[in-house]
Amino acid sequence: MKSEMSPDDLPIPEIPKCLQTRTVTKTIMSFADAKEYHRYRQAAHACIWAPQEGSSNFGELRAAVMMHLRFDGTFGFPGGLINSGEDIVDGLNREMAEEIGWSPTEHPVTWSDYYNTQVEHNKNLLLHFFIKKITLDQFTALEKMCPTAPEYGDEVLGSVRVPLYTMGNMYSGLPAFLNNRFVGTAKQQLLLAVHHVKILTEVEINEVMYKSNNLKLGPNRI
C-alpha cells in the first residue's frame, strides 16, 4: 500500500506539562527534521485503541488500549524495525500482522494516524509512533486474532488491555500498571497517546503519575 499523505508539514504535537521531561522533549522532533538522519535505522509502532463506555467492577472503562508483553519481559506497542527501502506505514502494517494478526486490508494504519517521531542517538534509531482508532468490536476481534499471529509465543507473549482507571486504594489500576517495565519510550508514548485522544486529561495524567511514583510502597495495595 502507498501512503496518501506525508507528515512532513505536521508540527510537533503538544506535550502536556506533566510529561515535559527531558527524556521526552529532548528526543521528539518533526518528521521533516528526522529525514535528515539518513543513516539511522527506522522503527514504527502503533497504539491501537477503541472508545468504550461503561464501567467494570474496578472502575470506569473509558477506552480499550492495546499493549503487549514482549519476549524480554517488558511491555510495548505492536510494531518493529522497518526494512531498508520499505515504506514506513507498509513496514508498520507488516510488523503488526506478524505480531498481533493485524489485517492491513481491513483497517490499515496510514499517515493520517501518525503522531510523532523520537530519536535515539545512542542507537542510531528513529522511532515513529502512530495512534489508530478502531471500533470496540474490531478491537475485540483483534484480541482474538493475536494468538494466531506468526510471532505470538516468540516475540509477543500476550496482548493486554491497559487499565485506565484508578481503584479506591488510589494505586491499583493505571498507577500500578505504570510501574511495570516498558521498552524504550513506550511508557511515555502511552501517556502521550491517552492525552492526545482525550481519554485522560492532563490533570488526570498528573494525578496518576503522582500516585504511581509515591504510593507504590504502600503496605497493601491489592
* Residue found under cell 477506552: 63
- What average pLDDT score do residues 76-90 get? 95
Residue 203 is classified by DSSP as H
Domains of the chain: 17-214 (3.90.79.10)
- What pTM value is reported for the model? 0.92
User: What is the pLDDT at residue 6?
Assistant: 72
C-alpha span between 89 and 3 (Å, rounded): 7
User: What is the pLDDT at residue 15?
Assistant: 87
The closest of 92, 58, 71 to 161, measured between CA atoms, is 58
Determine whether 84 is exposed, middle or buried from the number of CB atoms within 10 Å of its CB (0-12, 13-18, 19+).
exposed
Q: What is the pLDDT of residues 165-196, one digit of tens each?
A: 999 999 999 999 999 999 988 999 999 999 99
